[in-house]
Amino acid sequence: MQSTFQSLSRYSTVFLFVILQMICILLIVEFNEKQGKIFSATSTAFTSWLYNTKDNFTRIFYYDEVNNKISEDNARLFQRLEESKFNNIIITEKSDSSDYIDQYTYTAARVINNSNNRPNNYITINRGTKHGVKPNTGLIGSNGIAGIILASNDWYSIAMSVLHRQSKISVAIRRNNYFGNMVWDAKDPNIVKIEAIPRHADVVVGDTIVTSGYSAIFPKGLSVAIIEKVEKEKGSSFHLIKARLTEDINQLEHVYIVHNDFAKEQLELEEKIKNE
């Protein structure tokens, strides 16, 4: 208590000065019309600034919560697609109630680091092994595929972006199912090359490229790109195709990890055949 009184006594002059200043300001504002208007306008502007600042912070947290909710809802919708299920139908006289089994699961995530200006680009997301994320699982955005998960720790994962020279995704032309590979030549971050589509295949500008389903990573039919240029190279058995990605990797924010629950069985069987 004594120390409190000592502090007050030490700064009594300052307190008195502040109080007198406040009284002076109130007197000036009260008895001078011009200064009163200035004070009123200034206080109104300051109050508005405080309310706007508070509202902006509220909106940031509110929209962040809304975006997370939308991402989770989208993940559940992806999982309901027929392409995300395993067809268990056996042609017999009877049909079981478990004709379709969930094959792919989707986990919503947010991009926390991304690049597009290097020959080999990567995407970091805020989900890891504690969320069920594993290597060699797919990463997609709202408009198309984005990459493949390479490594994870407890809380984070890193994916090889489709904008990577070693990226090779099995794709197909939606209209006729001719399949090939999508690769990136490290030039335009929006344009990819579609390889191994045979010359005799009917390919036109505007065709949609989707995932072929011929891998253990992505389900069939996910959007990949739209063909912009088709050429026939002399002496080659394949088309030269350039396509524009449907997912703008430069603007990735909310993404989904695609996990094939049957991948292990598929890969083990394929490896067994290779070794025989």
Residues 104-114 have a mean pLDDT of: 93
Stronger pLDDT, 272 or 95, i.e. the higher one: 272
In terms of Cβ atoms closer than 10 Å to its own Cβ (0-12, 13-18, 19+), residue 217 is: buried
Least reliable range by pLDDT among 75-79, 202-206, 253-257: 75-79
The residue among 70, 77, 141 whose CA lies nearest residue 104 is 77
pLDDT at position 174, please? Answer: 97
Stronger pLDDT, 77 or 58, i.e. the higher one: 77
Q: What is the C-alpha end-to-end distance of the chain, expressed in Å? A: 89
CA distance readout (Å), 230 to 107, 144, 202, 239: 36, 21, 11, 7
Least reliable range by pLDDT among 59-68, 90-99, 175-184, 227-236: 90-99
Residues in the chain: 276
The residue among 248, 257, 259, 218 whose CA lies nearest residue 125 is 257
Quote the CA–CA distance of 255 and 263 in Å, as a whole number.
21
pLDDT digits (tens, 9 = 90+) for 148-177: 999 999 999 999 999 999 999 999 999 999
pLDDT at position 35, please? Answer: 54
> Model-level pTM greater than 0.75?
no
pLDDT digits (tens, 9 = 90+) for 225-241: 999 999 987 889 999 99
DSSP line for 214-276: -SSSS-TT-EEEEEEEEEE-TT-SBEEEEEEESS-GGG--EEEEEEETTHHHHHHHHHHHHH-
pLDDT at position 275, please? Answer: 83
pLDDT at position 234, please? Answer: 82
Share of the chain above pLDDT 90, in %: 59
pLDDT digits (tens, 9 = 90+) for 22-60: 666 666 655 565 555 455 445 544 544 554 565 555 555
Does position 87 have pLDDT exceeding 80, yes or no? Answer: no
**Residue 149 pairs with which residues in a beta bridge?**
159
CATH 2.40.10.350 fits 109-275, yes or no: yes
Q: What is the DSSP letter of 32?
A: -
pLDDT at position 123, please? Answer: 96
Quote the CA–CA distance of 127 and 75 in Å, as a whole number.
14
Q: What is the pLDDT of the chain when averaged over all its residues?
A: 81
Confidence of residue 119 (pLDDT cuts 50, 70, 90): very high
pLDDT at position 139, please? Answer: 97
Does position 2 have pLDDT exceeding 80, yes or no? Answer: no
The residue among 273, 262, 37 whose CA lies nearest residue 137 is 262
Quote the CA–CA distance of 112 and 259 in Å, as a whole number.
20
Residues 92-117 have a mean pLDDT of: 77
Confidence of residue 95 (pLDDT cuts 50, 70, 90): very low
Least reliable range by pLDDT among 69-83, 175-189, 190-204, 251-265: 69-83
